[in-house]
């Protein structure tokens, strides 16, 4: 009997995810988006955040995705962005290392959930930093890691060494720290189709995508902080998008994708969208 495969690529049918409610979310000035809202006097409005988050959960369940919820802890202020504690590959989980102390205690809670689900841990950052929002499977053998604000060269070098045994090639993708994570400026939405804030991404990376015959949907830099790239591929031509990002949604629809438009506004002020709130456990 062959070993179980967890996540083979970024676009196969999404089957199972881990999420966490924003009921205790507290704005932290650890990203440019939240910092800007805090300067305007904006506060969390947790009830509104929870009701928006519930539309994400409903959309998953309506599209056949099993949702596993990690219980939110009141003392963990930024916990709802479940993606960031690590990443998933075919063989199991990669455990990252948060850069900011405000998030570091989240790892043990998410890791306990993986253990409960019987998911093997195949790599762990033990030098430098790595957060899951910086991770993309370009294909079954190529892993891209953003070098933006929360993942550093030491973290990538550490993982490159550990992942080599599974045959993965690791590529670093540098960008301005203000962009926070790679998933704010790049997102694979369907097989060989991606959203890219091309003015924020390095030439070599864009050339690599072109060589691999990706259709690149350009996202202007001014839409980065509006989460223009921060969507979630469900597989089978379906994408969870954000209602207000009309031009990005229209561009995806022009490629024949079905975009499920979520009414997210308040929760986005925390600095993350549907992709950030989702840790993919299984893609068929």
pLDDT in the model for residue 164: 97
Tell whether 169 is covered by a domain: yes
In a domain? residue 145: yes
Q: Mean pLDDT throughout 80-90? A: 96
pLDDT tens-place string over residues 113-137: 999 999 999 999 999 999 999 999 9
- Owning domain of residue 134: 14-182+266-283
Q: What is the pLDDT of residues 175-218, one digit of tens each?
A: 999 999 999 999 999 999 999 999 999 999 999 999 999 999 99
Q: Is 201 among the domain residues?
A: no
Residue 263: which residues within 8 A CB-CB, separation 6 or more? Answer: 52, 55, 243
8, part of any domain: no
Q: Is residue 84 part of a domain?
A: yes
Number of structural domains found in the chain? 1
pLDDT in the model for residue 169: 97
- The string of pLDDT tens digits covering residues 146-162 is 999 999 999 999 999 99
Task: Give a yes or no: residue 178 inside a domain.
Answer: yes
CATH number assigned to the domain comprising residue 120: 3.75.10.10
Q: Is residue 1 part of a domain?
A: no
Q: Is there a domain that residue 204 lies in? A: no
| Residue pLDDT, tens place only, 15-51 | 999 999 999 887 666 667 666 756 777 777 788 889 9
């Amino acid at each position: 009997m062959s070993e179980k495969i967890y996540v083979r690529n970024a676009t196969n049918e999404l089957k199972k995810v881990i999420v966490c409610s924003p009921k205790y979310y507290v704005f932290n000035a650890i990203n440019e988006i939240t910092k800007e809202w805090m300067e305007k006097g904006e506060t969390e409005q947790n009830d509104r955040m929870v009701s928006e988050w519930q539309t994400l959960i409903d959309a998953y369940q309506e599209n056949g995705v099993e949702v596993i919820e990690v219980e939110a802890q009141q003392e963990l202020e930024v916990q709802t962005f479940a993606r960031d504690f690590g990443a998933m590959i075919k063989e199991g989980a990669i455990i990252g290392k948060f850069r900011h102390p405000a998030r570091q205690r989240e790892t043990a809670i998410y890791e306990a959930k993986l253990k409960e689900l019987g998911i093997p841990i195949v790599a762990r950052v033990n030098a430098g930093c790595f957060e899951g929002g910086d991770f993309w499977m370009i294909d079954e053998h190529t892993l891209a890691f953003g070098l933006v604000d929360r993942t550093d060269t030491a973290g990538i070098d550490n993982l490159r060494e550990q992942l080599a045994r599974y045959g993965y090639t690791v590529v670093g993708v540098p960008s301005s720290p203000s962009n926070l994570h790679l998933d704010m400026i790049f997102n694979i939405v369907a097989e060989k189709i991606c959203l890219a804030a091309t003015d924020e991404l390095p030439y070599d990376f864009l050339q690599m995508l072109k060589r691999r015959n990706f259709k690149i949907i350009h996202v202007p830099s001014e839409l980065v902080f509006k989460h223009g790239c921060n969507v979630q591929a469900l597989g089978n031509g379906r994408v969870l998008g954000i209602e207000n990002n009309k031009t990005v949604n229209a561009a995806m629809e022009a490629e024949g994708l079905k975009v499920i438009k979520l009414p997210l506004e308040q929760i986005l002020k925390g600095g993350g969208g549907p992709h950030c709130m989702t840790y993919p456990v299984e893609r068929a």
